[in-house]
A and B are shown apart, each in its own frame.
Chain A
C-alpha cells in the first residue's frame, strides 16, 4: 500500500461542524439528483460544488480523486462518442464521431465526476470515527433480526477493521521480507500467490483469536453504550437538510436543456 492516506482533512469550517448524519443524507440525496440531470443541471450542481469546496476550506486534490476511475471514464466517453448514432463531424477509420455522442458522453462522464467530487467532500470533512458513529445511528432503526447483528456490533466491527488495515499491511510486508530472507524470491507461479496468502491468513487468524479472547474476557456485548461525544442535530443541520430537499424538488424536473441542438 504505497500511498495509504486518509481522505479526511482536519479543519474547523461550517461543513466540518455539521452532523455526520446530515452530510451522509445530503450526499445521498444529491447523488440521486445527479442521475436525473442533463448537462445544464450538472453545470449548476458543479457551481454548487465549487461554492461548498471553498466554504469547506479543505484543499483536496480534485484531479487526484478521479485518477482511479480515469481509464474507465475515458473509455466510456470514447464508446459514447463513436457509437451513438447522429450526424457525424469526424471520421476515423470507418467510425464516425457524432455530436449527439459527444454530448451524451459528456453528460455521463460529468455525472461520475460530480458524484465522486461530492462524496470526496463528505469524506474530507468528516473523520472516520464520526462517520462510523453517524452510520451506526442511521442503521439503528433497522431491526437487528434482519442482519442478525445490532448496529452497535456493526460499528464495533467497522472500527476494528479500520484499525486492522494498517496492521495487516505491515504484517504482509513482514511475511514477504521473511520469505525473501530465506531465498524464496519473487515467483511468477500460482504457488507464489498461495505461499504468500497462507502465512498471511494463519498469522492473521492467530491475531484474531487473541482479540476475540480479549473481548470475551472483558465481557463484550453488542449493546448500547454511552459515549463521551454524543451526536446532536442542531439548527444548522435541519436547515441544511431542508435546503438540500428544496434543491432536490426544484431540480427534479430540470430536464429542459439550454442546449436543445443536441436532442436529436
Chain B
C-alpha cells in the first residue's frame, strides 16, 4: 500500500469514497459491539458519517448505492435480508431514511461550518431523526398500526443505541477533521 496523501478533489476519488461508505454500511449491519448493556450495530453510524464526510450529493449517492446493493441481492439489509420486497416491507422506511439522513447531514455540514461539539451533535441528531421518521411512517402505514404501537415497535427500542451512535460519530468526525483525513 502506497501512503499517498495527495487528497485530490477529483470526482473519481469522491466516487470511490461513496462506494466505500456504501459497503461500510453493508458490513456495519453485521458488527455488533456491546456498549454497557446495549448491543450497538455500526450500520447507522456509517450512514451519518457518510453524510458528514462526503457531503450532501455524494453522501446521498453512496446510500443510494447501498440500497441498490440490497436490491441486487447482496444480504446487506439488517439481519442479512435483501431484495426489493424488503424496501416496501415494514422496515423499508428506515432504509429510505438512510438516503435522506446522508443528504440532510451533508447539507447541514456544508452550509453551517460548525466546529463546536454541540453543533456536530445537533446535526447528527437531525440526521438520526431523518432515519427514524420515514421508518416510523412507513411501518405505521404498511402495517396499519396505531401511533403508539408503531412507536413501541419501531422507535423506542432504538433510542438508546441512537444516542450512543451520535456520541461515537461526533468523536470519530472530530478525529478525522483534526487528522485532516476529510
Interface residues of A (CB under 8 A from B): 1-8, 24, 27-28, 31, 35, 65, 67-69, 72-73, 75-76, 79-80, 83, 104, 108, 112, 115-120, 122-124, 126, 128, 131-132, 135, 147-149, 153-154, 156-158, 160-162, 164-165, 168-169, 172, 186, 188-190, 192-194, 196-198, 201-202, 204-213, 215-216, 220
Contact = CB atoms under 8 A, between A and B. Distances in A.
B71 A135 contact: yes
A7 B65 contact: no
Nearest to B49: A201
14 contacts: A4-B30, A68-B78, A68-B79, A72-B91, A72-B153, A119-B82, A119-B85, A120-B83, A120-B85, A161-B19, A161-B69, A190-B171, A193-B168, A207-B20
A123 B82 contact: yes
A131 B72 contact: yes
Given A72-B153, A161-B66, 18 more contacts: A69-B86, A73-B90, A120-B82, A131-B71, A135-B71, A147-B61, A157-B62, A160-B19, A161-B69, A162-B74, A188-B36, A189-B35, A193-B164, A198-B175, A202-B181, A209-B4, A210-B4, A215-B12
A67 B16 contact: no
Contacts of B45: 193, 197
Interface residues of B, number: 73
Given A68-B78, A194-B172, A209-B13, A115 B153 contact: no
Interface stretch (B114-122, B123-131, B144-152): B144-152
B73 A190 contact: no
B61 A126 contact: no
A188 B84 contact: no
Of the candidates B66, B68, B82, the one having the most CB atoms from chain A within 10 angstroms of its own CB is: B68
B172 A197 contact: yes
B132 interface: no
B156 to A, nearest CB: 13
A102 to B, nearest CB: 14
A7 B71 CA distance: 11
A220 B27 contact: no
B10 interface: yes
A215 B16 contact: yes
A194 B13 contact: no
A79 B149 contact: yes
Given A128-B72, A198-B175, A207-B1, A1 B27 contact: yes
Top 3 A-B pairs, shortest CB-CB distance: A68-B79, A123-B73, A119-B83
Nearest to B60: A147
A89 to B, nearest CB: 21
Given A131-B73, A158-B69, A31 B164 contact: no
B168 to A, nearest CB: 5
Nearest to B38: A188
Contact of A204 (B6, B24, B66): B24
B85 to A, nearest CB: 4
Contacts of B81: 65, 68-69, 116
A174 B6 CA distance: 26
B74 A27 contact: no
A220 B12 contact: yes
Nearest to B2: A210
B143 A76 contact: yes
Given A31-B84, A157-B18, A193-B164, A165 B27 contact: yes
Contacts of A198: 172, 175
A169 B27 contact: yes
Contacts of A24: 84
A8 B26 CA distance: 18
B88 interface: yes
B22 interface: yes
